[in-house]
Structure 1
Amino acid sequence: MTKDTIGLGCPQFKIAVYIANRPEIEPYSFLDSLISVSEGEITHIGTHCGNGWRKVFNVYAKLLYALDKRHFAEFQTAQTWQQYREQSLLQTNSKTALLFSPPQLGLDDDILHIICGRTYANELQRSAKINSQWVWLNEEFAVDKKNQLIVCPYFDYRQLSNIKIEFLTQLILSLRHRESE
């Protein structure tokens, strides 16, 4: 993490999700740094910013909760993904972040980067805000193994369904497994 990192989450994040938009209420709409959320804050954002933000947080929590517990036990701290979302996601010591700034690749090889949406990923690459050589696996998912980066559909139930979340968990596991070999 650098001083240019903007978003919500733990300063020592190990999984960073990058999204093109941000909640349109203060203080989030004017953030210029990374801040951890407190318990109940995700619900507050969802209530005031609409169903789209509830979906983003729900899909993020479902994704982390679906990861293989043998390799990602730190994200299995609650009995359900809903409890995990409310009690841990994006909070201090969660090791998770939702970032509104572009990925900063190469600073920490232990960070997994996930860009939400093909359009946003291509925009980042066209504007030279990211230097990555990802390979498209299909129309919706791309991987850059060297930089521990995945491009996936936007965090929305229709775009990133449960079946696609499962596919994404397998991609994450394959990157982490490769890293530990």
Structure 2
Amino acid sequence: MKMLDENSSTPESISHYFGASTPKIIFYLPSAPIIPKHWLAINEQAIAQLIHANGNHWRKIMVIISKLVCKEFSDWRKVQPSLFQQNSAAHVPLAIVIVHDSFEKADDLALDPNIMHIICGKNTFSRFTFENIKLDQNLSLNEKQTIQYHHPIFLTPYLDYRQFPNALIALLRPLLHQNN
């Protein structure tokens, strides 16, 4: 996958893509944020601008992503402003993809085992069609706070503190950092 632009050949089901051009982790979300005028993901203020334009909801999303991808958990606050930077020693390279329609070639997500795909929430997951992949492993705090996966694809709760608390983040982090 690459950054969306006017020359992009990205599937029509993807409305937005921002982050590293060669991510190790891709987060799939169901709804696009409001993109500020003249906003560039590579700008040092990109995360702050995104949060300012979208409020607390996107602040929570960015905090959870920061906690998942930072190499040292205690550094997540320092890492957050640079999440979309292409090369950072402090976090695993990531991208955010907004999936607004059905994603019929979902089995293709598993072609590169070096890229982990985090599908955030059942609403987003319902947009994917998997024919050959069964999410047959679980990480769980309880019945509602569960991550189903078959590496490299993970179905997680939506990125909200009530659904995805720190204890669940702590269960997922080791899997995301095994080879990074």
* Shorter-chain TM band: 0.7 to 0.9
Q: Is the 8 A contact 1:21 1:100 kept in 2?
A: yes
CA offset at residue 99 of structure 1? 1.0
Shift of 1:25: 3.2
Per mean C-alpha deviation after superposition, the further-off stretch among 44-53 and 1-10 is 1-10
Point out the structure with the larger strand share. 2
CA contact (8 A) 2:36 2:49 kept: no
Supply the RMSD in Å over aligned alpha carbons. Answer: 2.8
Structure 2 runs not aligned, ≥5 long: 3-8
Counterpart of 1:82? 77
Contact 1:12 / 1:93 at 8 angstroms: preserved in 2? Answer: no
Q: Which residue pairs with 1:52 in the alignment?
A: 57
Structure 2 vs 1, CA of residues 47 and 61 (structure 1 numbering), >3 Å: closer, same or farther? same
Deviations 1:41-65 (A, max 9, x none): 1111111111000110111001122
Alpha-carbon distance in structure 1 between the residues aligned to 2:164 and 2:157:
6
Greater helix proportion:
1
Relative to 1, partners in 2 of residues 1:106 and 1:162: Cα closer, same or farther, differing over 3 Å?
A: closer
User: SS of 1:164's equivalent?
Assistant: helix
Where does residue 167 of structure 1 map in the other structure?
Answer: 171
Q: Aligned residue pairs: how many?
A: 153
| Long gaps (5+) in structure 1 | 29-34, 66-74
Aligned-pair distance for 1:23? 0.6
Q: CA deviation at 1:124?
A: 2.1
Distance 1:37 1:133 in 2: 35
AA partner of residue 81 (structure 1): W
Matches within 5 A, 1:1-181: 1=1, 3-4=9-10, 6-26=16-36, 36-65=41-70, 75-76=71-72, 80-86=75-81, 88-94=82-88, 95-101=93-99, 104-121=108-125, 123-125=126-128, 128=129, 130-131=130-131, 132-135=133-136, 137=138, 138=140, 139=143, 140-145=146-151, 148-173=152-177, 176=178
- Cα deviation code 1:72-115 (max 9, x no counterpart): xxx45x972111111x2022225211111456514422101111
Q: Which amino acid aligns with 2:147?
A: F
Q: Say which SS state the counterpart of residue 109 (structure 2) adopts.
A: coil
**What secondary structure is seen at the aligned counterpart in 2 of 1:105?**
helix
